[in-house]
Structure 1
Amino acid sequence: MAKIKGPGIFLAQFVNDVAPFNNLHSICQWAASLGYKAIQLPTTDPRLFDLSKAYQSPAYCDEIKGTVADAGLSISEFSTHLQGQLVAVHPAYDRQFDAFAPASVRNNPKARAAWAAEQVTMAAAVSARLGLNAHATFSGAFLWPSFYPWPQRPAGLVDEGFKELAARWLPILDKFQDAGVDLCFELHPGEDLHDGVTFERFLDATNHHTSANILYDPSHFVLQQMDYLAFIDIYHERIKAFHVKDAEFRPNGRSGVYGGYQSWIERPGRFRSLGDGQVDFSQIFSKLTQYGFGGWAVLEWECCLKHPEDGAREGAEFISRHLIRTSDRAFDDFASSGSDPAFNRHILGLDSLNKGETCL
């Protein structure tokens, strides 16, 4: 039985201009000092990593791998969340999402989408070069402004949206398949892939592409009021990456799932540091272990209250405590009576039939 690896930490929320968070060497040393064993590495911050350079230079990849290894760490996955977002953008969000792109492709949706697709495709090759088998990203969205059916959606709108989304992603998925890397979509509000049903629509539109998989993050399902444990039962074969992020949902008489345009600290649904929310991680780790998930358990810190350094320190111990050392034998092996086909037939009362006796 596979064992979940960990703890890992997603570095995107910790990078800033102050040491030790301003370069790869020092942030790796910091993560290792807290007990982390792996980092999930964003690919949009040159203070840590240059994706284009890694695509062009095996020597640079070796340098990155060496820097991480010198701290006693591994790379769990690379992340192209921001680039994946730009593969598909509804015009209502053009100006806001332009901030994720380089200046050369801003105010040019077609060029921006081409740049984003090239970035994610490069990540497939770089992941393979560094021996990784999974990659984290977002799907982008054409349909998100229509997530609530008012005004009533025109017939065929959703099908057309997923048809175009699949057309954007199929060439990228093929590159990941060629590289032997699973492309793991984080199912997230704001993306066309935000729950199980939308993921199924995408699978149908991509002919159930084998590289289209899931980054499982229960916090987004808490905020949508989904059954995040049943989700594992349904989709475990496609779960290839795991964000360990806590959340809580406490509805009140003034607002609920939609949040009332309030700040994160005032919303009924809020992300929390590990152990401060409502997610049952004991059951999550048990289910993922039961189904043979052998990837990394990666902290994603996005708490609206606690300081990030405190969340990171507590998170390493929290994940370590939930890792399950799988057994190499059944608990009741001590009472085994061995394997004997003749004895089994005797227990079932079938040996008498071999002697020509009639069973009444």
Structure 2
Amino acid sequence: MKTIKGPGIFLAQFVSDEAPFNSLDSIAGWVSGLGYKGVQIPSWDKRLFDLAKAAESQDYCDQVLDTLSRHGLALTELSSHLQGQLVAVHPAYDAAFDAFAPVEVHGNPAARQQWAVRQLELTARASARLGLTTHATFSGALAWPYFYAWPPRPAQLAADAFAELARRWRPILDRFDEAGVDVGFELHPGEDLHDGVTFERFLAATSNHRRANILYDPSHFVLQHLDYLGFLDIYHERVKCFHVKDAEFRMSPRAGVYGGFLGWPERPGRFRSLGDGQVDFTGIFSKMAQYDFAGWAVLEWECALKHPGQGAAEGAPFIDRHIIRVTEHAFDDFAGEDTAALPDFRRMGMAETS
């Protein structure tokens, strides 16, 4: 068995124009001081990271790794959540998602998609130069506006949407395969890949592409009322990335799982800082140890109530307490395995089989 690596932290929610959150060197010093051992870098934020340069320059990648190393940190993964979202955008969301792309492709969905695909190809090359074997992203969505079956949707709609999603992603997955990097799709509402069934459908549409894998985040399963422990029993072989994020769902007589357009603090389902929600992390980390998850436990901080500084400070020791240092021998090894001492089957009243 393998011991999970960590604690790590996803930097996206903490980057700002204010020190120490405005450069890789300064934010690395901050998270190291909190006890983190790894960082997941958002590839779109040039205050921390130049993706185009990383894809082409080994010297630049070495500088990035050296900066982290000086603070006692490793690089867990690159993230391309914003760019991955733009690989597939339903027209209903065009205006909202333009904000994820450069201004020169705003209002031009085809150009925006081409930009996103190029970004993913850059992350594949950059990940390889950085010595990474996993990558975190979103799938994007073509069928999401139809997730609830009213009005009744044509039977072929979902099949066509997943076929098109796979068509767009297959060449990208091939680039990651060439780089030797697994893609972990975060299963997330708003994405066509948001639960086990939709991931299976996408996997089948990509001919079970070996680089199509999962970023496991139990918080999104709590809000969907999905069995997040049983999920690991089924899909553990495809789980390559892990966001440690808490959530809670408080039954309400006024609003349900869709939230009634309420703000996050008022929603029945909301994200919380680690330990403040309902996620059974003891069970999750036990499953991760059982199934030999060899990756990183990475805090993704999102909370409707708590200050991010407090959430980050509490996150590292929380993850550290839950990491299971796996055993190197069985607990009953002391009893020995001397087969010569076993009783003769005939004296036990059992006949030996031929």
Which SS does the other structure have where 1:156 is aligned? helix
What is the letter of the counterpart of residue 185 of structure 2? F
What is the letter of the counterpart of residue 344 of structure 2? H
CA contact (8 A) 1:345 1:351 kept: no
Q: 1:150-165 residue pairs with structure 2 within 5 A? A: 150-165=150-165
Q: 1:113 to 1:352 in 2, by over 3 A?
A: closer
Which SS does the other structure have where 2:155 is aligned? coil
- For the residues of structure 2 that align with 1:215 and 1:58, how far apart are their CA atoms? 27
Q: 1:332 to 1:105 in 2, by over 3 A?
A: same
Q: 1:55-70 residue pairs with structure 2 within 5 A? A: 55-70=55-70
Give the equivalent residue in structure 2 for 1:223. Answer: 223
Give the equivalent residue in structure 1 for 2:322. Answer: 322
Which SS does the other structure have where 2:344 is aligned? helix
Residues 148-199 of structure 1, C-alpha deviation per residue, up to 9 Å, x if partnerless?
0111011200000000000000001111111111000000000000000000
What is the letter of the counterpart of residue 101 of structure 2? A
Q: 1:196 to 1:255 in 2, by over 3 A?
A: same
CA contact (8 A) 1:173 1:211 kept: yes
- For the residues of structure 1 that align with 2:346 and 2:65, how far apart are their CA atoms? 60
Which of 330, 344, 347 is residue 346 of structure 1 equivalent to? 344
Give the equivalent residue in structure 1 for 2:11. Answer: 11
Give the equivalent residue in structure 2 for 1:109. Answer: 109
Shift of 1:58: 1.5
Q: 1:214 to 1:350 in 2, by over 3 A?
A: same
Give the equivalent residue in structure 1 for 2:31. Answer: 31
Which SS does the other structure have where 1:148 is aligned? coil
Q: 1:350 to 1:122 in 2, by over 3 A?
A: farther
Give the equivalent residue in structure 2 for 1:196. Answer: 196
Moved more, 82-91 or 98-107: 98-107
CA contact (8 A) 2:242 2:298 kept: yes
Q: 1:250-289 residue pairs with structure 2 within 5 A? A: 250-289=250-289
1:169 paired to 2:166: no
What is the letter of the counterpart of residue 204 of structure 1? A
CA contact (8 A) 2:219 2:246 kept: yes
1:307 paired to 2:291: no
Which SS does the other structure have where 2:314 is aligned? helix
Q: What is the TM-score when the length of structure 2 is the normalising length?
A: 0.97
- For the residues of structure 1 that align with 2:272 and 2:351, how far apart are their CA atoms? 65
Residues 190-212 of structure 1, C-alpha deviation per residue, up to 9 Å, x if partnerless?
00000000000001100010000
Which SS does the other structure have where 1:45 is aligned? coil
The count of corresponding residues between Structure 1 and Structure 2 is 354
CA contact (8 A) 2:345 2:351 kept: no
Residues 226-256 of structure 1, C-alpha deviation per residue, up to 9 Å, x if partnerless?
0000000010000000000000000210001
- For the residues of structure 1 that align with 2:339 and 2:6, how far apart are their CA atoms? 38
What is the letter of the counterpart of residue 154 of structure 1? P
Give the equivalent residue in structure 2 for 1:180. Answer: 180
Q: 1:349 to 1:214 in 2, by over 3 A?
A: farther
- For the residues of structure 1 that align with 2:195 and 2:163, how far apart are their CA atoms? 18
- For the residues of structure 1 that align with 2:148 and 2:18, how far apart are their CA atoms? 42
Shift of 1:346: 2.1
Give the equivalent residue in structure 1 for 2:126. Answer: 126
What is the letter of the counterpart of residue 301 of structure 2? W
- For the residues of structure 2 that align with 1:348 and 1:115, how far apart are their CA atoms? 75
Residues 32-67 of structure 1, C-alpha deviation per residue, up to 9 Å, x if partnerless?
000000000001111000101111221111111111
Q: 1:16 to 1:348 in 2, by over 3 A?
A: farther
1:99 paired to 2:123: no
Give the equivalent residue in structure 2 for 1:138. Answer: 138
Q: 1:348 to 1:75 in 2, by over 3 A?
A: farther
What is the letter of the counterpart of residue 107 of structure 2? N
- For the residues of structure 2 that align with 1:264 and 1:46, how far apart are their CA atoms? 29
1:239 paired to 2:277: no
Shift of 1:119: 0.5
Unaligned runs of 5+ in 1: none
Identical-pair percentage:
64
- For the residues of structure 2 that align with 1:352 and 1:267, how far apart are their CA atoms? 64
RMSD: 1.7
Give the equivalent residue in structure 2 for 1:293. Answer: 293
- For the residues of structure 2 that align with 1:135 and 1:337, how far apart are their CA atoms? 44
- For the residues of structure 1 that align with 2:347 and 2:70, how far apart are their CA atoms? 65
Moved more, 57-66 or 286-295: 57-66
Shift of 1:345: 7.6
Q: What is the TM-score when the length of structure 1 is the normalising length?
A: 0.96
Shift of 1:350: 8.9
CA contact (8 A) 2:42 2:79 kept: yes
Q: 1:25 to 1:338 in 2, by over 3 A?
A: same
- For the residues of structure 1 that align with 2:305 and 2:74, how far apart are their CA atoms? 29
